[in-house]
Amino acid sequence: MASSKVLYPVELACYEAQGGRCVQMRSIGQHLVEAWPRLFRYALTLTREPDAARDLMQQSALKALSTGATPSEPRAVRAYLFQIVRNAWIDRIRRARIIREGDVQDWPDDGFDDRLIDAIAVRQAFAALDPSCRSVVACVDVEGLTYRETAARLGIPVGTVMSRLHRARQTMLHRIAGQSDESEVR
């Protein structure tokens, strides 16, 4: 049973299940195993930290395996799993009640590549987005999903995906432009 490290939490939960629920758990467990890499990338995009993403995935897997009713269609199950990850992430944010802003570090003026500075500015702008906009940007711009796939994954209308994406991109552009203006005025 411990032959695959990725499958271990799912296998363990199925093994420990009792009664008729184990059959249902194996079904959702199979979907969970198939979607695990994409779910992990999504969790990593949301949390921005590998350890936090692993914790979020473990919490989400337990939630998915312990839930009695799941959709019967495979695409709906996939969207359901992404929704569980998203909701678990939102619950963590609510519990923590901490607004994290991008780390401010003193960088030396000499020897830094402009691409590195641009990448840092983009990450800080992305981190400053509100959670609903950040999840849309993560789906469309990071994972390359279509608007329709993003809407299905997040359980929102396509128009909402489009408006949140536009708002998020504009906000990020303004933040990045503001950071570059500040760096030029020394």
What is the chain's mean pLDDT, rounded?
Answer: 76
Instruction: Please report the DSSP string for the chain in residue order.
Output: -TT-TTTHHHHHHHHH--TTHHHHHHHHHHHHHHHHHHHHHHHHHHHSSHHHHHHHHHHHHHHHHH-S---SSHHHHHHHHHHHHHHHHHHHHHHH-----PPP----SSS--HHHHHHHHHHHHHHHS-HHHHHHHIIIIIS---HHHHHHHHTS-HHHHHHHHHHHHHHHHHHHHHHHHHHH--
Q: Which of 59-68, 76-85, 102-111, 164-173: highest mean pLDDT?
A: 164-173
pLDDT, residue 177, reads 81
The pLDDT assigned to 179 comes to 60
Top mean pLDDT of 31-35, 54-58, 74-78, 112-116 is at 54-58
* Amino acid 113: pLDDT: 59
> In the CATH hierarchy, which fold is given to the domain comprising 1-98?
Rna Polymerase Sigma Factor; Chain: A (1.10.1740)
d(CA 160, CA 142): 18
Tokens at 76, concatenated: 């709906």
CATH number of this structure's domain 102-186: 1.10.10.10
Domain extents in the chain: 1-98, 102-186
